Amino acid sequence: MADLHDLTALEQGALIASGELTSLELTEHYLERTARLDDVGAFVTVTPDRAREQARAADLPDGWAGPRPPLHGVPTAIKDLNLTAGVRTTFGSAAYDDFVPEVSDAVTQAIEWSRMPSLGKTSTPEFGSPCYTEPEGRAPAVTPWDRTRMAGGSSGGAAAAVAAGLVPVAQGSDGGGSIRIPAACCGLVGLKPSRGRISGAPMYGDPVGLSTAGTLARTVRDAAALLDVLAGRRAGDPSWAEAPTGSFLAACDRRPDRLRIARFITPVISEATVDPDCVEAYEDASRLLEGLGHDVVDVPVPLSEEAVPVFETCWAVLTALSAAPPGSEHLLRPLTRWLSDRGRAVSGPDFGLAIGAMRRHAAAALEALEPYDAVLTPTLAAPPLLVGELRDDADPARDFEAQKAFTPWTSPWNVTGMPAISLPLHWTSHGLPVGVMLAARPAEEELLLSLAAQVEVAAPWHDRRPPGWT
């Protein structure tokens, strides 16, 4: 008989709905695993008493109007960038070690409203900026497939938690690849939704529109079910994606028609060397899609090289907006200080011009890709790297360039606002996961999920288990 953590999140939810399992029993199971097995740097703060209280509330027979959602009572965790009332939220920075917010953001509220107990806060790098999760003074987040190697970032703690079986599914956020990068490093499904799909209330900290919350899971269906929990707009949102025709979970059960799928492997934001395993994963995925009846077409890189410095300008300004409390600036990491200095050197008018230029670059890319239903690229230029291989405190500029070379395809879909998903379709001869990325037109998550689910059925990965799983 399978252990509880071997089951998918949806299977666990079904057991709770049938009365065969309580949310409290499942929460206790994951709390015990987290206390015993978190050698992957997944959690910054664990909140066992709060999780148990939320689980008991989920088990109450009343207090819920209408059918319960499929993940009702299933434990999860919340990224340490997301405001959680009454729970220490550090934003990955020593400057906020003692910060406890008084309000929760829309993502945290959506999880709580869906009666999903949260075990605590998952690790993230400072202000979610780097593509590795090595917060100051804390253990790095590592992939359970090789604990000497990075889990990616900035949702590295969330990915490590799911991949190690400490929670069945988790929320992350993605401003330049921060869900898809750790998904690829940890052998998971990582879904970045369309711009405006998930509310950024109440802070709306990204005026550019690059970042969004999203989902990390071991299966496409679990990722879709958590998207159903998180999706929705608030009255004050500056943008919102067109509502789906049904649930995102239901979209996974619809077989897609014959699709035109564009593909390219030329790195976009850096002249990176692509590892042979990443090339092999990309070519294998192309053949798989063709075998499923889709037309796969080579296309030029749709985003102009001129978009790269524009993106970097916006990224630097966003980092500068993540201000440390007065008197604690010295606690910031060298990379954060370097990016913040770049951002503060940009004038207000120049920042406005950069946003306008980025939107024009995005429009050109969207027009070039309009004839295609989906786009295929590798997720990363290499399998997960050794911890510390990208980080360079002595030379933050070199650190930043190394990050770009590792992630040359992820940020374009943040620029365009398109939904994108990383799928764990390949493993190296040394047992390291390699992701492949699919993107779709804005607001077409249903099509993207139906395609991803079709791929998963054809080349399943759910039964793979990293070392230390049991």
Asked if residue 182 lies in contact with residue 151, where contact means CB atoms within 8 angstroms, the answer is: yes
Q: Given 23, 79, 118, 340, which residue is catalytic?
A: 79
Residue 192 designated active-site = no
Strands, sheet with 420-427, edge to edge from the N-terminal-most edge strand: 169-174, 212-217, 189-192, 420-427, 433-440, 374-378, 260-263, 295-298
Q: Given 114, 178, 340, 422, which residue is catalytic?
A: 178
Q: Given 118, 123, 154, 411, which residue is catalytic?
A: 154
Asked if residue 12 lies in contact with residue 21, where contact means CB atoms within 8 angstroms, the answer is: yes
Asked if residue 299 lies in contact with residue 262, where contact means CB atoms within 8 angstroms, the answer is: yes
102 C-beta neighbours (distance < 10 Å), count: 7
Q: What is the 3-state secondary structure (H, E, C) of 330-359?
A: HHCCHHHHHHHHHHHCCCHHHHHHHHHHHH
Residue 129 designated active-site = no
Residue 154 designated active-site = yes
Q: Give first-to-last CA distance, the chain, whole Å.
A: 13
The residue type at 408: P
**Tokens linked to 385:** 């790297």
* CB-based burial, 38-74: b 16+ in 10 Å, e otherwise: bebbbbbbbbeebbbebbebbbeeeeeeeeebbbbbb
**Tokens linked to 3:** 């252990």
Phi, psi for residue 122 in degrees, rounded to 5: -90, 150
For 53, 84, 246, 263, 437, the CA distances from 440, given in Å and listed in that order, are 39, 32, 18, 12, 10
Instruction: Give catalytic residues, as residue numbers.
Output: 79, 154, 178
